[in-house]
Amino acid sequence: MPALRHTCLVTAAICFAATAPATFDLRGRFEDVTAPLRVRVSGAETPFSATTTSDTHGRFHFRALNPGTYIVSAHVRGHGDASRTVVITPTLADAKHIVTITIPLPPPVDSSDRARHRSMVSVAQLSVSDAARQKYDQAQKDLAHNNVEGATIHLKQAVELAPKFSAAWNSLGVISYQTRDYPAAETYFRKALESDPGAWTPTVNLGGVLLNLNQPSEALPYNQAAVQMHPNDALANSQLGLTYFQLGQPDRAEKYLRTAEQIDPSHFSHPQLTLAEIYARRGDQAATLRELNDFVQRFPDSLTAADIRKRLERFNK
């Protein structure tokens, strides 16, 4: 799996209304698993990362998570990366303040593909010093404690020790992205890609930040490459769809946004909102309402959902 499976949010952040309780637990399960997995939960919109180990049936538990949107992922032998977006919010939690999720496995990966991906690990990444890796690991511990400043310091120390440490550059880019410093994020993602040419994670992240910088033409080749490398990845498909939408090609945009929605229905890039706009411009009222209602159900406590509910109520009168 990529060294850091943080990914970018290519649409406006969906803010959640302040509600109690302050934190929630997340319980979940990876389907069809017969061995323990190393499971990561990452903030989709704010810098955060934590890991745990599942049981032999793929069941895992994270405690005391703040409300928001997260990515849960694990590397599954024979299948590659399995991930889903999960929304931690009062409406979606049970009476004990627990949110649950079940994550299906992606299709099996062909043995030749696994061998090809292993052979693509560059000499530069294999030669990263233990001292630099220790700084990187400390940064991940900082993020688990919401210590963004400490994580940034340790990551900068890591790339000073190992200037070709792609994962550390990428992590700096993710932090900059999530703190809305898009020019810095672009710089860091380019550094990550220069350090490990062809790596998927900085490729898709660079494609995302270029969209936020209103550079869809420049973002296009990166997002096309990301889909080509991982055609079943929701983020890659969503970003390519958004790229085509920004370039004024709604038919192409629809194809990739619908794919993203099918792969990860609650994906943090919110493909429903762009699809709703595409259908509204076509005058397809039924499809527009379907996407808006789906968004409201998946992000019920977001301020955006509250605004959409008001619009839907006016429409139904």
Burial class, 145, CB count within 10 angstroms (exposed 0-12 / middle 13-18 / buried 19+): exposed
* The dihedral sign for the CA sequence 86, 91, 92, 95: positive
Within 10 angstroms of residue 64's Cβ, the number of other Cβ atoms is 12
**Using one digit for the tens of pLDDT, what is the confidence trace for 255-289?**
999 999 999 999 999 999 999 999 999 999 999 99
Cβ atoms of residues 79 and 108 within 8 Å = yes
Within 10 angstroms of residue 209's Cβ, the number of other Cβ atoms is 28
Which residues of the chain carry a pLDDT beneath 50? 1-13, 18-20, 115, 119
**Domains defined for the chain, CATH in brackets:** 1-108 (2.60.40.10), 123-194 (1.25.40.10)
**Using one digit for the tens of pLDDT, what is the confidence trace for 52-107?**
999 999 999 999 999 999 999 999 998 889 999 999 999 999 999 999 999 999 88
**Which has the closest alpha carbon to 28: 1, 65, 2?**
65
pTM of the model: 0.88
The beta strands (E) that lie in the chain are given as 24-30, 38-43, 49-53, 59-65, 68-76, 80-88, 98-103
HSE, side-chain direction, 13 A CA sphere, residue 242: 32
Which pLDDT belongs to residue 119? 47
Which pLDDT belongs to residue 231? 93
**What distance, in Å, lies between the first and last C-alpha atoms of the chain?**
50
Between CA 283 and CA 120 the distance in angstroms is 47
Which pLDDT belongs to residue 109? 75
